[in-house]
Amino acid sequence: MGFDHILFILSLFLLSSDLKTVFLQCTVFTIAHSISLALAASSVIIPNSNYVEPIIAASILYTSIENIVDSKIKRWRLLIVFIFGLIHGMGFASALSEIGLPKSNFLTALVSFNIGVELGQISVLVMAWFCFAKWFANKPWYKTKLTYPLSALIACIALYWLVERL
């Protein structure tokens, strides 16, 4: 249903509310999940959802904990986001396999799906920015009153999913 994807995007947002930084991370994430989704949808790779789904939950758990532990984005975060994007793309492939892509318009359907995902990500980020960062990001309590509690909530949900999926 995409709720795990939304929580991952929100956890990227929570560490840095700067839209340029968040959009860069999301673009890297989209490129990565587009690659693995295309490979999986083309049957070049066959992801095993028994492994993919728990790793997706672990990726959300990791980024939400990182938001609590780190005060700013580390240089290597883009690499981590890329790797997690590859895993999330395999999860998207499982969801798409249930729906099915038309063989005659495979590439168009795949690109359209990815554009839809990217537009959804941008919508979530803009809403989060408007609800939180626009008004409160410069406040001294922003991290303690918003970032930490929301990241902890996301971590709890991700931990529940991780245990459930294992």
DSSP-derived secondary structure for 26-48: HHHHHHHHHHHHHHHHTTSS---
Binning the chain into helix, strand and coil, the percentages to the nearest 5 are: 80, 0, 20
What integer pLDDT is reported at residue 1 of this predicted model?
58
Through-space distance between the first and last CA atoms of the chain, rounded to whole angstroms:
19
Tokens of 33: 């999940």
Of 85 and 17, more confident: 85
What integer pLDDT is reported at residue 9 of this predicted model?
93
The answer on pLDDT for 157 being more than 90 is yes
What integer pLDDT is reported at residue 90 of this predicted model?
93
Q: 20-63: per-residue pLDDT in tens?
A: 898 899 889 989 999 999 899 888 999 998 999 999 999 999 99
- CA-closest candidate to residue 124, choices 2, 37, 9: 9
The answer on pLDDT for 7 being more than 90 is yes
Give the CA-trace dihedral at 11, 15, 20, 21, to 10 degrees: -100
Task: Name the residue ranges covered by the structural domains of the chain.
Answer: 3-165
DSSP-derived secondary structure for 114-138: HHHHHHHHHHHHHHHIIIIIHHHTT
Q: 81-129: per-residue pLDDT in tens?
A: 999 999 999 988 877 777 777 777 888 888 888 888 889 888 999 999 9
- CA-closest candidate to residue 93, choices 35, 25, 133, 16: 35
